[in-house]
Structures are given as C-alpha cells and as structure tokens.
Structure 1
Amino acid sequence: MKNWILCLVSCLLAGCGGGGVAKPTVEENVYAHVVGLGDASGNEEMFQAAFVSGAAPKNRKDYGKYAFIVEGQAEINGDEANVPVKVIGGVISSQDGDRAAKKKSGDKSETQMTWKLQREGKEWKIKEAPLPG
C-alpha cells in the first residue's frame, strides 16, 4: 500500500507545473504557411486552402519546383504581413520523381522575393506568392 501511495504522489507531482504545448506565435504561423507551400503544391485542395479565397495561382505545379525559406523578419501590420522569402530553384521535387534526380546540381538558383499574407478569420493565408522569372 505504501508503494502505491508513493507512486500516485510521484505521478501527480510529475504532472504538475502547467506544462503543455506552447501556442505558436503570430510570426510562427505566418512562417509555417510560407515554408509549407512547396508541399501543399502537390495537392490541389491543400494548395487552394493555403491561399486567400480566389488568390491561388493557376501554375500550382511550378511551386513544387522550389523550396521556400523565410529570410529575415516579417512585417506584420494587423491582419496583413509582408514576408521576405528566399525562393530556391533546382531543388529535387518528389512530385517529379526520377526526372528531377537526373537534373544537374548546377541548376540551383536563389532569389529574394516578398510575399504577402493576410489573416482570413483566425488563420493566416497567402495573398501573393510571386515566383522568379
């Protein structure tokens, strides 16, 4: 009985402290939408959902050819954000299969762009995500 009580007290003490999952910041939510767009481009519904209603570009598959990295600090003003994005081309895309693996590694390029995001309800979505060229 004594061991059972010690076990119960230990479990209760280990669970105390108000831990849990930290809520993401506004910046983290904005950045996640930018970085995840390459993956979302593989699925029409996910790609459309990443953008503000009616703002999704028609060249969805082109986004799968790039990697996107937030380069610097986003300017967030209320429900709008301007995000400096490094667009990296020449990345092997899992959507292209073996064809992408045969590409030369010298085809890699990096371009600085500014993307615009907007809060739609409680969720951040992409309003403008220009690609190089």
Structure 2
Amino acid sequence: MKNWILGLLVLGLTGCGGGGEGASQPTVEDEVYANVIGLGDASGDEAMFQAAFVSGAAPENREDYSKYAFMVDGTAEISGDEATVPVKVIGGIISSQEGDSAAKKEGGEKSETKMTWKLQREGKEWKLKEAPLPG
C-alpha cells in the first residue's frame, strides 16, 4: 500500500498538468519527510499506520500518535537505505477524530519536544523504523 501522503507530495511537486519534461520528481528527502509529516493522519487508520512502518516496527499505541502533530526540525541524515530525521513533536493538539466533545474540553498547554526518528527503505518505499513519542 502506497503512502497517500507521498502521492499528494508527488502530485504537488509535479502539478496536475500531466508532468511534461520540466516536471520535477520528489527527492529522497521529500519522500522521507512525507512519512514524518503524514504519521498523524495515518494514526487514524490501523492499516495506514501499519503501512507507515517497516514490517513489525509499528508501535502498539497508535491512538497516542493522533494527539500530536509532527514537523521536520532540521535536515535528515540519509545514508544508503537508512535515514535519521530530527522531528518536532507538538503536543496539546486536539484530534478531530475524537469529535466535538473533545474540542469543547479545555486543551492542555501546547508542548514541543525534539525527537530523533529513524526510517528505512523497504523495497522502493521509505518507512518509519523508530518514531518515539515524548515521555
């Protein structure tokens, strides 16, 4: 299953106009970053969440990931089929998946924690290998 975020990234980079000779292809960095940024959305669906990680590496606390937003916070170090990415994990996000009742509750203060995530190429796709959360 292809990561739909990567598809959107490719579409955004190439545009909707059929991709002539001047169309740019996503870089390895683009592919790696798309996996980091898209994890919050992927956490809403078990199959998408599992597909975002290398085989056997998906954490069991999928729901916890929907409580955060993820941003790349620096430059990835990519060596062969492995990548290390500095990620800003932003807490205090109210998940739209929890409905209106959650939005009415007073949210906690937003927090930002810098973490290091690891990705690995599995076949032709980049997938998360380690994506720790704060705490």
Sort the TM-score into its range (normalised by shorter chain).
Answer: 0.7 to 0.9
Q: Which amino acid aligns with 1:18?
A: E
Shift in Å at residue 102 of structure 1? 2.3
User: What runs of 5+ residues in structure 1 fail to find an aligned partner?
Assistant: 1-14
Alignment of 1:1-133 (within 5 A): 18-20=21-23, 22-133=24-135
Give distance in 2, aligned partners of 1:71 and 1:77.
Answer: 18
Deviating above 4 A after TM superposition, structure 1's stretches of 4 or more consecutive aligned residues are none
**Identity rate of aligned residues, in percent?**
78
Q: Distance in 2 between matches of 1:24 and 1:60?
A: 28
Measured on the aligned residues, the alpha-carbon RMSD in Å equals 1.6
Aligned equivalents of 1:100, 1:85: Cα separation in 2? 26
- Which string of whole-angstrom CA distances, capped at 9 and with x for unpartnered residues, describes residues 36-95 of structure 1? 000000000000000000000000010000000000000101100000000001112111
Q: TM-score, normalised by structure 2?
A: 0.82
Match of residue 4 from structure 1: none
TM-score (norm: length of structure 1): 0.83
- The DSSP-based 3-state class of the residue aligned with 1:95 is helix
- Report the more deviating stretch, 102-111 or 82-91: 102-111
Higher Cα radius of gyration: 1
Cα distance in 2 between the residues matched to 1:100 and 1:35: 23
Deviations, residues 19-50 of structure 1 (Å, cap 9, x unaligned): 33x21000000000000000000000000000
Cα distance change, pair 58–106 in 1 and its aligned pair in 2 (3 A): closer
Size of the aligned set, in residue pairs, is: 117
